[in-house]
């Protein structure tokens, strides 16, 4: 399925979830699909760390539901993160592995292997709630059931997508510098949860 089409489906099914994007193309794709400037943290500077970052947030704010994207290039740099995610087993965190089988942010350069079975890797790491979608219709039908209701533990979802085309590579990057993004996002979290991140409220 097309990368952008998959993200439009996710955006359609999003309720109030907080989103964390990854190094790779997920920031561009999510910005194109949503133009979300408050409830998404575009963690582009983060090779292999978006879901660890999101795990810290999910631990700190159990009342929020978090979706964290991870490109498969980033995933391959730190697959051991799944051991930590399994141990934390946060029911409010969904790790969405976007598998385009390339390093999407670097001109679709080849991964060391293109036939990794990410769902099998996750299960071998001990994760139980593992789901995979390769077709748009299946994603549209199945994704709401994956993330809705009372979830018993950490959720891992693999999306098999096509790499960005040359035209898609030119999609706008989320137009925020780091500190602006931090404050936009942090103020949103403060407002949603009545917590105090920055030591003062505006």
* Chain contacts with other proteins (rule: CB under 8 A): 20, 41, 43, 45-61, 64, 78, 80-81, 83-84, 87-88, 178-179, 181-182, 185-186, 189-190, 193, 195-197, 199
- CA 97, 76, 23: angle at the middle one, nearest 5? 60
For other proteins, the closer of residues 127 and 139 by Cβ is 127
**Minimum CB–partner distance for residue 198 and other proteins (Å):** 9
Q: Which is nearer to other proteins, 109 or 195 (CB)?
A: 195
Nearer residue to other proteins within complex by CB, 117 or 180: 180
One-character DSSP codes across 72-124: HHHHHH-TTHHHHHHHH--TTEEEEEEE-SEEGGGTTEEPS-S---HHHHHHH
**Going by DSSP bridges, is the β-strand pair 129-133/155-160 parallel, antiparallel, or unpaired?**
parallel
Least distance from other proteins to the Cβ atom of residue 58, Å: 8
Q: Which is nearer to other proteins, 18 or 98 (CB)?
A: 18
Instruction: State the number of CA atoms in the 13 A half-sphere of 85 facing the CB.
Output: 34
State which residue, 65 or 101, has the beta carbon closest to other proteins: 65
Residue for token pair 């730190």? 78
Q: How far is the CB of 189 from other proteins (least distance, A)?
A: 6
CB of 181 to other proteins, least distance (A): 6
Return the ∠ at Cα 44 (arms to 43 and 45), rounded to 5°: 95
**Residue 59 Cβ vs other proteins, minimum distance, rounded to whole Å:** 6
Angle between helices 81-88 and 50-60 (to 10 degrees): 10
């Amino acid at each position: 399925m097309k990368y952008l089409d998959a993200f439009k489906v996710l955006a359609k099914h999003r309720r109030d979830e907080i989103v964390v994007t990854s190094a790779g193309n997920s920031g561009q794709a999510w910005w194109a699909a949503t133009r979300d400037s408050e409830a998404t943290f575009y963690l582009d500077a983060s090779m292999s760390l978006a879901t660890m970052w999101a795990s810290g947030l999910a631990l700190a704010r159990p009342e929020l539901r978090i979706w964290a994207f991870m490109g498969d290039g980033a995933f391959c740099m730190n697959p051991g993160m799944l051991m930590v995610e399994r141990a934390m087993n946060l029911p409010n965190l969904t790790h969405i592995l976007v598998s385009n089988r390339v390093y999407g942010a670097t001109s679709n350069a080849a991964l060391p292997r293109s036939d990794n079975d990410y769902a099998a890797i996750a299960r071998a790491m001990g994760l139980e709630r593992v789901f995979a979608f390769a077709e748009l219709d299946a994603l549209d039908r199945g994704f709401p059931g994956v993330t809705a209701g009372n979830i018993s533990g950490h959720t891992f979802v693999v999306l098999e997508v096509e790499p960005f085309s040359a035209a898609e590579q030119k999609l706008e990057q989320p137009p925020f510098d780091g500190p602006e993004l931090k404050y936009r996002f942090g103020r949103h979290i403060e407002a949603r949860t009545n917590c105090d991140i920055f030591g003062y409220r505006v």
